[in-house]
Amino acid sequence: MQMQHYFILDANDSKILCKRPKKEESPDHCHSSLSSLIALYLQENQELIATIPPWFFQRILLVQVLDLSGTNIKSLPKSLPKMGALRKLLIRGCQLFMELSPQVGQLEKLEQLDLDETQIMGLPIKMGKLLCLRDLRLTDLSIEVDPADKRWDDSVEVVVKEVCNLKSLRSLSLYLPKFQLLEYMSYIYPSLSRFRFTVGYIKRRVISRVPQEVEAQFRNWDKSFKFVNGENIPIEIEIKGVLRYSNSFFLDRHATAKNLSEFGIENMQRLKFCLLAECDQMRTIIDERNEEDISIENVVESLEYLSIYYMEKLETIWRGASDRQGGIGILKLKFLALHTCPQLSIVFSYSLLGNLVNLEELVLEDCPLVTTLEKIKEIDDVELQNNYSEFEEDESDNSRKKRARKSALAVAADEAGATVAADLDNVCPSKPGSGSGKHRRLWVKDRCKGWWEERNRPDFPDEEFKRDFRMSKAIFNMICEELEPVVMKKNCNAIPVRLRVAVCIWRLATGEPLRMVSKQFGLGISTCHKQVLEVCTAIKGVLMPKFLKWPDDNNMKRIEQEFESMTGIPNVGGSMYTTHIPVIAPKVSVAAYFNKKHTEKMQKNCYSITLQGVVDERGDFTEVCIGWPGSMSDDQVLEKSALYHRATTRGLFKDVPYAHHNLTWAQHGFSEKIGKIEKVAKDAFARLKGRWSCLQKRTEIKLQDLPFVLGACCILDNICELRNEDMDPMLEFELFDDETIPENNLRSMASVQARDHIARNLLHRPFL
């Protein structure tokens, strides 16, 4: 079988009737033999399949093998249900194939179905009728169910057994109400390149104690395992077996576990991300006192992120003989967060601190007993040297002690964040009651802020500043002055207002991920994220009423006059356009955010939210509607906006060009004029996306926070435009035409008549 050729075999003698057709030939050359075909191979032949007429598939009803692999088809032939003899259906590698028709369920003799490397997100229920199906070629399988649906409890065992027979499976996402079901899968999950398992009965809850963004971080790892509502520690291989292959583990609401070591420390060698929540009996995370944990050095050295939420009895992180030589293997730990642990009194012992050479961020929130880290003060210089001698052998004694002090713990900061102190005595207050358990406190490793300090100098060149922040220093200073009453914190150690605003604007301007923002400004990742949201919220509250508002009557008359002088069309109050902002596939209502147009263009699943805006004749935004799911049409978004409410109460309507063919001269002229008006909005959105690069790529910001960020971009863009701030030509952005014009684009006869009246008047006016 050769690529880019199709073969048709005769049902009686299997002779090749048509092979290697020439470019000028099409399948109708085999018209006389179509009714006797048993196999048709069109794999990798995109050009040929485009020439096949619809009637062709209606005449191959005896075909047993249909191979459409790699043809980029979007749907199956409508005559598929009539192919009762079909045994093999191969659609492998069709990147534009996104939905499998329920009609497949009528192919009672189908034995093999290959859907590998397609964009199918779900299988139709009627596939359950394919009783002869014995080979379903899937490499990626995700089964999403409602945990409250008891039907899944009754059928899950059968499904799991069938899943285990998928030999080509590489990725699997599955909810298992009973951990014993993992026994069936013990032979396949070691070979999976990706898996996401949720094990244990899930009970409905009004609110989750773990923030959505933290759960999203847990799910982003290749091999994630969530164990929920456990009541004991299974000694069998089920839980420990899958944990051995996981790099992300979420233990949620376990009723009896007293520490993580009970799950078998030797099973956590590959673990990089660990999330623990509401395990009410847990008193410590790692307990070295268990004699069986002899390999602890090799077990937890890969752990990088540890987050803990709402642990009522947690007293300490580590307990046991931690001061033995090489006894602690958490050298790679970068991030530690503890939230609402009322009994926590000791975070680290001094010997444990000696191993935290990579720790970048420590977050404590609502841990009232952690008011001081006095144990650090008990360490003498010799102990500090011993703790760090293994890692800093080439350093002198003085530099080693200084580095140890700084790396151990730098500074306690309030919820706004603070600069890093060099003196350890300033870090640990001597009085136990000196801290407040209600405040979020943050310890961070000292970071370099040289990049920002250089740009914050008065003599820093304005052109270079503008290249980094998309605005001049004068505009930046004005924004800081406007926001200072809202953004400034009362604490004397708080992050300066100019730094807060700079973090936000640089993030919006460059679209760089938070880890790069953290590195650039010398702040923690979570601190940067918090500053972006706080400043964007302040921009909306303080600057929006001044720089982005619907025109008053005088300004509206000016706008109408400008548009009329531009196109000859009267009473035009603005130009509207709708664009899409890419987002990561949400956890809930994922289909609502699916962007079909972008998916077809990019040939991969794309998700988005909408940004609809109205601009005046200059291209300045006067109205924005942000955040509706990307599957909604432009008209549907308009109906949800404040502009639509204003339009229905004041008799406004949206002018659109004529969409049909065979236009009259008047209609053609009207469409050209409307095109000029639309271009004003398209150019404005192109400048918006070019100046603020965060609008061009997916972001880690939550969906509910995105409207504040996108709104801030529109407001800042208006400020730059109103101050005649030129945009660097290198930032010019080619706008992908998101907007679609519906067939019935005018909703009332009055709108149709008004459009026709304007078109006729334009025909008799002088050329503009």
Q: Are residues 331 and 440 in the same domain?
A: yes
- Of 19-23, 185-189, 284-288, least confident by mean pLDDT is 19-23
Measured in degrees and rounded to the nearest 5, phi and psi for residue 487 equal: -85, -30
Asked if the structure places residue 171 within a domain, the reply is no
Domain coverage including residue 632: 553-763
Give residue 237's pLDDT band: very low, low, confident or very high (50, 70, 90). Answer: low
Tens of pLDDT, residue by residue over 492-526, are 557 899 999 999 999 999 999 888 898 899 887 77
What whole-number percentage of the chain has pLDDT above 70?
71
**Looking at residue 730, what is its pLDDT?**
87
**Looking at residue 239, what is its pLDDT?**
82
Q: Are residues 519 and 455 in the same domain?
A: yes
Q: Which of 425, 444, 463 is the last residue of a domain?
A: 444
**Highest mean pLDDT range out of 191-195, 233-237, 351-355?**
191-195
Note the pTM of the prediction, 2 decimals.
0.53
Asked if the structure places residue 224 within a domain, the reply is yes
Q: Are residues 633 and 515 in the same domain?
A: no
Q: Are residues 440 and 456 in the same domain?
A: no
Q: Are residues 499 and 563 in the same domain?
A: no
Tens of pLDDT, residue by residue over 430-443, are 333 434 444 444 45
For the cut 80, the answer to whether the pLDDT of residue 728 exceeds it is yes
Give residue 6's pLDDT band: very low, low, confident or very high (50, 70, 90). Answer: very low
For strands 440-444 and 316-319, give the pairing.
unpaired
**Looking at residue 393, what is its pLDDT?**
34
How far, CA to CA in Å, does 339 sit from each of 211, 280, 307, 376, 442? 11, 14, 8, 22, 12
Q: Which of 137, 165, 191 is the last residue of a domain?
A: 137
Asked if the structure places residue 688 within a domain, the reply is yes
Q: Are residues 522 and 576 in the same domain?
A: no
Asked if the structure places residue 142 within a domain, the reply is no
**Looking at residue 24, what is its pLDDT?**
46
Q: Are residues 229 and 331 in the same domain?
A: yes
For the cut 50, the answer to whether the pLDDT of residue 705 exceeds it is yes
What mean pLDDT do residues 151-155 have?
85
Tens of pLDDT, residue by residue over 551-607, are 999 999 999 999 888 888 888 888 889 999 999 888 777 888 888 888 877 777 888
Q: Are residues 557 and 541 in the same domain?
A: no
**Looking at residue 402, what is its pLDDT?**
37
**Looking at residue 761, what is its pLDDT?**
57
Q: Are residues 564 and 541 in the same domain?
A: no
- Quick one: residue 241, left, alpha or beta (phi over 0 = left, psi -120 to 50 = alpha)? alpha
For the cut 70, the answer to whether the pLDDT of residue 704 exceeds it is yes
In whole numbers, what is the pLDDT of the chain averaged over residues? 75
**Looking at residue 21, what is its pLDDT?**
43
Give residue 721's pLDDT band: very low, low, confident or very high (50, 70, 90). Answer: very high
Closest CA relative to residue 84, chosen from 128, 49, 130: 130
Tens of pLDDT, residue by residue over 628-684, are 998 888 878 888 787 776 665 444 445 555 455 555 656 666 677 888 888 999 999
- The tally of CA atoms less than 13 A away on the side-chain side of residue 352 is 19
Tens of pLDDT, residue by residue over 392-429, are 333 444 443 333 333 333 333 333 233 222 332 333 33
**Highest mean pLDDT range out of 132-146, 344-358, 719-733?**
719-733
Closest CA relative to residue 495, chosen from 524, 475, 460, 461: 524
Strand partners, 275: 250, 307
Asked if the structure places residue 213 within a domain, the reply is yes
Q: Are residues 511 and 540 in the same domain?
A: yes
* More confident site: 424 or 234: 234
Asked if the structure places residue 709 within a domain, the reply is yes
SS3 623: strand
Tens of pLDDT, residue by residue over 17-66, are 344 344 444 444 555 567 778 888 888 776 666 677 777 888 888 888 98
Q: Are residues 563 and 517 in the same domain?
A: no
Residues with Cβ < 8 Å from 278, sequence gap 6 or more? 209, 252, 253, 309, 310, 311
* More confident site: 5 or 585: 585
How far, CA to CA in Å, does 38 sit from each of 84, 361, 672? 12, 65, 54
Query: What angle is formed at CA 222 by the lines to CA 217 and CA 225, rounded to 5 degrees?
Result: 75
Asked if the structure places residue 526 within a domain, the reply is yes
- Of 86-90, 238-242, 616-620, 748-752, least confident by mean pLDDT is 748-752
**Looking at residue 667, what is its pLDDT?**
62
Asked if the structure places residue 54 within a domain, the reply is yes
What whole-number percentage of the chain has pLDDT above 90?
24
Neighbours of 297 (CB within 10 A): 15
Tens of pLDDT, residue by residue over 457-487, are 999 999 999 999 999 999 999 999 999 999 8
Decide if 745 contacts 659 (C-beta within 8 A): yes
SS3 346: strand
**Highest mean pLDDT range out of 339-343, 746-750, 759-763?**
339-343
**Highest mean pLDDT range out of 63-72, 706-715, 739-748?**
706-715
Task: Please tell me the total count of domains within the chain.
Answer: 4
Q: Are residues 575 and 643 in the same domain?
A: yes
Q: Which of 524, 547, 570 is the last residue of a domain?
A: 547
